[in-house]
């Protein structure tokens, strides 16, 4: 049978379109049916790469008896959290309020008008480990709805009132203070795992925004400890099983503290943010290993996650053939069978820690168990020979792995996540002068503007030619930041103008009079509350992205209407963010930019001119996180205010380095620009 999900664009919803459950997508049809039938709503929220979502689907939603219970007593709604972050965030707040924790699959019971009164996450089919069985819960709630409805309505009213309070971002007593960053760095040092790398215990998640904060701190103060934490964390992650040692790219997190055993799903947003972190660290250290990991991660995105039209898909599942990680793990015999040269095979086995007994359910997750120098000593070979052997071995194992069944692919394109990918590609292109990255970034930007903007309005999600759902705050802001990053890589004014348009949309349609910005537009469909997200994890919150976009445009334009709402929101977070750095790292990075010194570089001339390229490349040769660049022919219409009245000297491309729109003498010489940059960044005495 088919239910109401068969016309969905979400692969997650389509996975459930043949369930015996009469699922509806979220929308008027489902909500009206609940009111008309006087039934409570069972709301199930998940995403395509979610392992436990698949488990609950197999155990309960594919079971005819369970489905019959659901269909008899409830109107059942399926939501892809990635397409509808508004619904996900609202009801996640309710589940956390009820249970103290959240996660996916999220299972919430609602009144017909959407008020939550009971919820949790994964439920087993029968009682297990002190967890009630799903059918047991269904019967209990159906009975209460019939015989004790008032108690459920009372809970629903109380919860709705609690989750309706959006966090106000009104400036209080907090002021932006650079001294707070000393306390943040000390807190991160105290909580850092110097044995295994990273922060926190198992499960252990990557923290690219924290790493950016540490790199920014090093750029500002030359704090060696901050740089050591950043490089140690990046090195530990790329050596572990969370990193795909053969195909590149990172899994979502590891279930252990050693970065060894991943939850094997691969998300676009993780890989985009981590590729950027490795590029930034390479700019600081010059370590070719950091650049290699960035290149391999971007190569994975370009080869495995990109739609032919240029957009990037959302994720790869953890499972293949019904088993988590089956695509990625190896036995010792499989390694030796795939690599024909015995010496190469033994080098690979030693390099990646392969054993007969394995490290994961009798199989081996590959991780970097020995570095090149150690292997050279072990096998009495030159380091270059070891690297050559590893290249041969990787290619052989990749060829063998290509014969396996791929994990499921969620091939929808989400605007916000693609905005993060656009930032990574554009910054990588600019920092490394990689033309492939620049071409991919241009194609991606063109795709998003051509296919995700319909009748003048930005949409959230696209799949196989169809775009749906009005965009959220994070979509406008991430896209705007990606376009600004691309503008600073190729100086095409189309990208700048579009970034300005999205900033204007944010100010017009998302602003909260209490400060900051709502996640949804002012004309969004009515929900029980208007969501407003401020916490950064695992992606920057919509507010973080919006504040960063407005601050950046303020540096280009010098306009208070961009700067003031952004700085107002930052002052409201001035106490909270430093106290909880891992939850609000994106805010800390925005504060660092706001505190400056912000450097503004305008280059007058043709971006194709060799002299122009030399000047612009000098500006990005080092890690200068608070530098923005504008460029182009003098007088070109639509340029940033930073380019106003910039002229060429003696017919040559000319650089104007400014701070607060007060500029140093213009120069056509790269060496003089270097001197000016060093002087501008020198600590005050």
**Using a CB cutoff of 8 Å and minimum separation of 24, what contacts does 280-286 make?**
280/211, 280/212, 280/215, 280/427, 280/623, 280/625, 281/211, 281/215, 281/230, 281/231, 281/234, 282/431, 283/431, 283/620, 283/621, 283/622, 283/623, 284/215, 284/218, 284/219, 284/227, 284/623, 285/227, 285/231
Q: Write the pLDDT tens digit of every residue in 256-265.
A: 999 999 999 9
Q: DSSP readout, 595-628?
A: HS--EEEEEES-TTSHHHHHHHHHHHSS--TTEE
Rounded CA gap, 35 and 648, in Å? 69
Confidence of residue 1 (pLDDT cuts 50, 70, 90): low
Q: For the beta carbon of residue 59, count every other beta carbon within 10 angstroms.
A: 17
Give the burial class of 428: count Cβ atoms within 10 A of its Cβ; 0-12 exposed, 13-18 middle, 19 or more buried. Answer: buried
Rounded CA gap, 641 and 652, in Å? 21
Q: Are 423 and 482 in contact (CB under 8 A)?
A: yes
Tell me the fold of 11-163: Glutaredoxin (3.40.30)
Q: What angle do CA 401, 402, 407 make, to 5 degrees?
A: 85
Q: Write the pLDDT tens digit of every residue in 180-220.
A: 999 999 999 999 999 999 998 999 999 999 999 999 999 99
The gap between the terminal CA atoms of the chain, to the nearest Å, is 75
Q: Write the pLDDT tens digit of every residue in 443-465.
A: 999 999 999 999 999 999 999 99
Rounded CA gap, 658 and 604, in Å? 14
Task: Report DSSP state, residue 4.
Answer: T
The token duo for 398 is 């990749």
Q: Write the pLDDT tens digit of every residue in 388-433.
A: 999 999 999 999 999 999 999 999 999 999 999 999 999 999 999 9
Alpha carbon distances (Å) from 390 to 555, 588, 622: 47, 40, 31
pLDDT score at 24: 97
Rounded CA gap, 591 and 175, in Å? 10
Parallel, antiparallel or unpaired: strands 413-414 and 409-410: unpaired
At residue 471, the 3 state secondary structure works out as: coil
Per DSSP, helices labelled H in 122-223 are 134-147, 149-163, 180-190, 208-221
Per DSSP, helices labelled H in 433-559 are 435-451, 473-490, 493-509, 542-557
Mean pLDDT is lowest, of 317-321, 335-339, 406-410, 434-438, for 317-321
pLDDT score at 684: 55
Q: Write the pLDDT tens digit of every residue in 475-493.
A: 999 999 999 999 999 999 9
Rounded CA gap, 156 and 444, in Å? 43
pLDDT score at 167: 85
Rounded CA gap, 562 and 553, in Å? 7
- Is 661's pLDDT higher than 80? no
- Is 118's pLDDT higher than 90? yes
pLDDT score at 680: 87
Of the candidates 623, 598, 599, 588, the residue with the CA atom closest to the CA atom of residue 182: 588
Rounded CA gap, 301 and 250, in Å? 10
Of the candidates 84, 109, 115, the residue with the CA atom closest to the CA atom of residue 8: 84
Task: Report DSSP state, residue 319.
Answer: E
In the chain, residues under CATH classification 1.50.10.10 are: 180-320+410-595
At residue 116, the 3 state secondary structure works out as: strand
Q: Write the pLDDT tens digit of every residue in 362-397.
A: 999 999 999 999 999 999 999 999 999 999 999 999
Task: Report DSSP state, residue 407.
Answer: P
Calculate the average pLDDT of the chain. Answer: 95
Alpha carbon distances (Å) from 530 to 517, 525, 572: 10, 10, 20
Directed axis angle between helix 383-401 and helix 342-351, to 10°? Answer: 90
In the chain, residues under CATH classification 3.40.30.10 are: 11-163
Domain 599-681 in CATH 3.40.30? The answer is yes
At residue 346, the 3 state secondary structure works out as: helix
- Is 683's pLDDT higher than 70? no
Rounded CA gap, 506 and 494, in Å? 19
Of the candidates 392, 406, 366, the residue with the CA atom closest to the CA atom of residue 245: 366
Q: Are 564 and 615 in contact (CB under 8 A)?
A: no
Mean pLDDT confidence for 635-643:
93
Q: Write the pLDDT tens digit of every residue in 140-187.
A: 999 999 999 999 999 999 999 999 888 888 877 678 889 999 999 999
Share of residues in the chain with pLDDT > 90 (%): 92
pLDDT score at 685: 43
At residue 533, the 3 state secondary structure works out as: coil
For residue 160, whether the previous peptide bond is cis, meaning omega lies within 30 degrees of 0, is no
Confidence of residue 128 (pLDDT cuts 50, 70, 90): confident
Rounded CA gap, 335 and 503, in Å? 52
Q: Are 168 and 534 in contact (CB under 8 A)?
A: no
- Is 297's pLDDT higher than 50? yes
Q: For the beta carbon of residue 384, count every other beta carbon within 10 angstroms.
A: 10
pLDDT score at 130: 80
Rounded CA gap, 557 and 624, in Å? 20
CATH number given to 180-320+410-595: 1.50.10.10
């Amino acid at each position: 049978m088919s239910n109401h999900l068969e016309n969905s664009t979400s692969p997650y919803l389509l996975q459930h379109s043949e369930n015996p459950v009469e699922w509806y997508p979220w929308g008027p049809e489902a909500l009206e049916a609940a009111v008309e039938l006087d039934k409570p709503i069972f709301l199930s929220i998940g995403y395509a790469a979610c392992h436990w979502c698949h488990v609950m689907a197999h155990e309960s939603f594919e079971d005819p008896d369970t489905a019959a219970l659901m269909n008899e007593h409830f109107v059942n709604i399926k939501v892809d959290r990635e397409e509808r972050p508004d619904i996900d965030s609202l009801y996640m707040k309710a589940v956390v309020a009820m249970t103290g924790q959240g996660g996916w699959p999220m299972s919430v019971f609602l009144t017909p008008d959407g008020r939550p009164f009971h919820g949790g996450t994964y439920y087993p089919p029968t009682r297990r480990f002190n967890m009630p069985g799903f059918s047991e819960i269904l019967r209990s709630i159906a009975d209460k709805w019939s015989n004790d409805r008032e108690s459920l309505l009372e809970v629903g009213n109380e919860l709705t009132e609690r989750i309706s309070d959006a966090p106000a971002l009104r400036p209080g007593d907090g002021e932006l203070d650079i001294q707070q960053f000393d306390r943040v760095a000390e807190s991160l040092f105290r909580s850092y795992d110097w044995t295994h790398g990273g922060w926190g215990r198992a499960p252990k998640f990557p923290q690219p925004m924290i790493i950016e904060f540490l790199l920014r701190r090093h750029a500002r103060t030359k704090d060696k400890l901050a740089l050591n934490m950043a490089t140690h964390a990046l090195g530990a992650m790329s050596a572990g099983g969370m990193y795909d040692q053969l195909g590149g790219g990172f899994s979502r997190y590891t279930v252990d503290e050693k970065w060894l055993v991943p939850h094997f799903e691969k998300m676009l947003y993780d890989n985009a943010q981590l590729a950027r972190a490795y590029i930034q660290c390479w700019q600081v250290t010059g370590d070719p290993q950091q650049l290699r990991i960035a290149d391999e991660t971007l190569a994975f995105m370009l080869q495995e996650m990109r739609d032919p039209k240029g957009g990037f898909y959302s994720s790869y599942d953890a499972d293949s053939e019904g088993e988590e990680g089956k695509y990625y793990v190896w036995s010792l015999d499989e390694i030796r069978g795939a690599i024909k040269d015995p010496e190469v095979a033994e080098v690979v086995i030693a390099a990646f820690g392969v054993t007969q007994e394995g490290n994961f359910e009798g199989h081996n997750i590959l991780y970097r168990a020995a570095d090149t120098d150690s292997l050279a000593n072990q096998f009495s070979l030159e380091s270059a020979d070891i690297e050559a052997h590893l290249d041969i071995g990787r290619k052989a194992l990749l060829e063998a792995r290509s014969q396996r069944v791929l994990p499921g692919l969620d091939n929808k394109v989400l605007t916000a996540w693609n905005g993060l990918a656009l930032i990574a590609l554009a910054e990588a292109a600019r920092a490394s002068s990689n033309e492939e990255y620049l071409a991919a970034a241009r194609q991606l930007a063109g795709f998003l503007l051509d296919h995700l903007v319909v009748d003048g309005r930005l949409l959230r999600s696209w799949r196989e030619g169809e775009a749906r759902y009005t965009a959220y705050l994070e979509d406008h802001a991430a896209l705007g930041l990606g376009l600004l990053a691309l503008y600073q890589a190729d100086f095409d004014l189309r990208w700048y103008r579009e970034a300005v348009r999205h900033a204007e949309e944010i100010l017009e349609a998302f602003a909260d009079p209490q400060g900051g910005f709502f996640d949804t537009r002012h004309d969004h469909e009515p929900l029980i509350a208007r969501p407003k997200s401020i916490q950064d994890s695992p992606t920057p919150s919509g507010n973080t992205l919006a504040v960063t976009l407005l601050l950046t445009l303020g540096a280009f334009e010098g306009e208070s209407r961009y700067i003031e709402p952004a700085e107002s929101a930052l002052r409201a977070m001035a106490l909270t963010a430093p106290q909880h750095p891992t939850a609000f790292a994106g805010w800390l990075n925005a504060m660092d930019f706001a505190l400056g010194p912000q450097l503004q570089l305008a280059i007058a001339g043709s971006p194709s001119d060799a002299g122009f390229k030399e000047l612009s490349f000098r500006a990005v040769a080092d890690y200068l996180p608070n530098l923005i660049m504008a460029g182009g022919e003098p007088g070109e219409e639509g340029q940033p205010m930073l380019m106003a009245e910039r002229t060429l000297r003696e017919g040559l491309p000319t650089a104007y380095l400014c701070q607060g729109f007060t500029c140093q003498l213009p120069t056509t010489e790269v060496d003089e620009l270097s001197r000016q940059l060093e002087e501008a960044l020198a600590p005050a005495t």
